[in-house]
Amino acid sequence: MTPFVPPEWLPVIFAALMAISIFAYVVLDGFDLGVGILLPRMEAEPDRDRMIAAIGPFWDANETWLVLGVGLLLVAFPIAHGVVLTALYLPVALMLGALMLRGVAFEFRAKAHDNLRLKRRWDHAFFAGSLIASLAQGWMLGRYVLGFSEAWHAYAFAAMSAFGLPMAYVFIGAAWLIWRTEGDLQRASIGWARLSVWPLGAGILLVSAVTPLVSARIYERWFALPELLFLAPLPILTLLLLVGLSRLLARMPLPEDAWRRVPYWGGVGLFGLFFAGLAWSFFPYVVPDRLTIWQAASAPESLSLILIGTLFVLPTIFAYTALAWRIFSGKARDLTYD
């Protein structure tokens, strides 16, 4: 057993690592899923090429975070893994199939070269994979938030969540393109971001409003004192970010491409605030109102060994991601894609 970590803290550490992995996946792979959904919106082939080039060096590393998050769930919380995957078997299968379709389309599009008809077919496949994966993830989020309830309203909420998450990905994908492109494509991306910023806010409001209503425990955590005072900054900061992003997008593009990064990092901030609210709501449960992290955790001896490996793997993924961002830091016109 790791001597510096008390056994009762090991599940907390792994829950935090899993949360970091899932959040990193959402804000990183979210932008390339969003770009995939937006791909058919551009008719000009050079603009489509630039959209693909804007995500080309990053998307492989982005999906690594999903593998890490699911892997940590499996090895650290095997009981919860069984419950979650059993309840979400079909959407998980759809998501994996869609992600594979995206990968195939991405690679084969590059081999089409000047065959525009074939490239368009792979563009449609990339769009379909991106949209189906996003819809499946939204459905899974909705089912998880309501604790896999079988009531009709739980399925209605999951359906709304299924359509809401792709809109969130569209916003962060458009914000990424604002940062990484220029000219007509950047102006189109600004328009997409303007159209999707308030639907993103409405989705955050919907999930935030429903969550305390379906669980008396969560309601007490949100509205009891002094917890209410600590949580009050989350909705206030969310509203301020939404208003600020809306006003900034209304003025963009700015001279000399100023503040081009702000919409993307503002979107990351919105996702972070939303994620913090969910984390506060469900902790210490890994399956809402059914299994705590201590009930679902592996033996302390196993967690200690897994932690050693994780402490090597996690910095490696961080370093690879940071290196890709540093090397491919320019506009999409500066990126090469073979």
What are the residue ranges spanned by the domains of the chain?
A: 7-322
Q: What pLDDT, on a 0 to 100 scale, did the predictor assign at position 337?
A: 43
| pLDDT above 90 for 94 | yes
Q: Which residues contact 44 (CB under 8 A, 6 or more apart)?
A: 184
Q: What pLDDT, on a 0 to 100 scale, did the predictor assign at position 96?
A: 93
| pLDDT above 90 for 246 | yes
Rg (C-alpha) for the chain, rounded Å, is 21
Helix crossing, 10-38 with 45-55: angle to 10°?
Answer: 170
Whether residue 309 contacts residue 68, with contact meaning beta carbons closer than 8 Å, is answered with no
Q: Which residue in the block uniquely carries the two structure tokens 């967690």?
A: 303
For residue 207, CA distances in Å to 42, 143, 186, 202, 230 come to 31, 11, 31, 9, 19
Q: What pLDDT, on a 0 to 100 scale, did the predictor assign at position 239?
A: 93
Distance CA 184, CA 45 (A): 12
| For residues 321-333, average pLDDT | 82
| pLDDT above 50 for 304 | yes
| pLDDT above 90 for 125 | yes
| For residues 318-322, average pLDDT | 88
Q: What pLDDT, on a 0 to 100 scale, did the predictor assign at position 333?
A: 64
Nearest Cα neighbor of 180 from 27, 332, 324, 44 is 332
Does 1.20.1630 match the CATH number of domain 7-322?
Answer: yes
Tell me the pLDDT tens digit for each residue of 31-62. Answer: 999 999 999 999 888 899 999 989 988 887 88
**Both tokens assigned to 204:** 């955050």
Sign for the CA dihedral angle at 123, 124, 127, 133 comes to negative
| For residues 7-11, average pLDDT | 88
**pTM listed for this prediction:** 0.91
* Percent over 90 (pLDDT), the chain: 46
| pLDDT above 80 for 5 | no
Distance CA 126, CA 240 (A): 34
**What mean pLDDT, rounded, does the chain reach?**
88
Distance CA 306, CA 302 (A): 6
Whether residue 181 contacts residue 189, with contact meaning beta carbons closer than 8 Å, is answered with yes
| For residues 107-112, average pLDDT | 82
* Percent over 70 (pLDDT), the chain: 97
Distance CA 208, CA 39 (A): 30
Which pLDDT band holds residue 112 (cuts at 50, 70, 90)?
A: confident
Q: How many CB atoms lie within 10 A of CB 123?
A: 22
Whether residue 21 contacts residue 68, with contact meaning beta carbons closer than 8 Å, is answered with yes
For residue 281, CA distances in Å to 15, 215, 218, 288 come to 14, 10, 6, 9
Which pLDDT band holds residue 336 (cuts at 50, 70, 90)?
A: very low
